[in-house]
Amino acid sequence: MDLRRIFARALVVAGLLAATAPAAADQYDDRLGGLFDQLGDAAGPDEGAVLTREIWRVWLENGDPGIGTLLARGMIEMSHRRLERARAIFTLVTQRDPDFAEGWNKRATANYLLGNYDESIGDIGRTLALEPRHFGAISGLGLVWLRLGDATAAREAFSRALAINPWLSDTRQRIEQLDDQPDGEPI
């Protein structure tokens, strides 16, 4: 990977840190209720995308700057496919703040990418216990079920994610692919 791409990724993560450092927020943030209401009433995909990004921004916020730093480091490691390191960092996040849903969600993602599907499902369960509206975690659960060959459970998870956020075009496409898949054919 060239240095420009590494620098660009670092700028994105730095932007996330700058946006999250001063505010104490997470899945308990009062803004989320209104954002989810607006998401359901969004006029179209552009507005839906803006609201989706804002929800993710709030989910990534944490009042502990150390957690923000760890989260950013883990995301950089994951973007460079250093998945074991990313998982270890996200584990530190979950240990430092076990009530921070996004720490569990990021670890679920790392576990999924490592092929640790049972661990990923467990981390998704922790995420959803803390933030039942976490459409990213629910969609991720659908991906796990696809990897495990359970198209019915995958479709159910994807549908559940879309019921919360109807603007997830990748998730909608996965459902369409599942609908087009002949019964008994591998996914």
| pLDDT at residue 63, as a whole number | 84
Read off the pLDDT of residues 34-67 as tens digits, 9 standing for 90 and up.
999 999 899 999 999 999 999 999 999 888 889 9
| pLDDT at residue 12, as a whole number | 38
Read off the pLDDT of residues 13-23 as tens digits, 9 standing for 90 and up.
434 333 333 33
Give all domains of the chain, ordered by start, each with its CATH number: 3-180 (1.25.40.10)
Q: Which two tokens stand for residue 110?
A: 């790392």
| pLDDT at residue 185, as a whole number | 57
The conformation of residue 115, written as its DSSP 8-state character, comes to T
Burial class (CB in 10 A: 0-12, 13-18, 19+), 26: buried
Residues 25-32, mean pLDDT to the nearest whole number: 75
In sequence order, the 6+-apart residues with CB closer than 8 A to the CB of 102 are: 26, 27, 59, 60, 62, 71, 127
Residues 77-95, mean pLDDT to the nearest whole number: 98
Read off the pLDDT of residues 104-163 as tens digits, 9 standing for 90 and up.
999 999 999 999 999 999 999 999 999 999 999 999 999 999 999 999 999 999 999 999
Query: Nearest 5°: phi and psi at 129?
Result: -65, -35
Q: Which two tokens stand for residue 95?
A: 């240990």
Q: Would you say residue 88 has pLDDT above 90?
A: yes
Residue closest to 65 by CA, chosen among 15, 101, 20, 14: 20
d(CA 87, CA 91): 6
Provide the sign of the torsion angle of the four alpha carbons 140, 75, 78, 176, taken in this order. positive
Q: Would you say residue 164 has pLDDT above 90?
A: yes
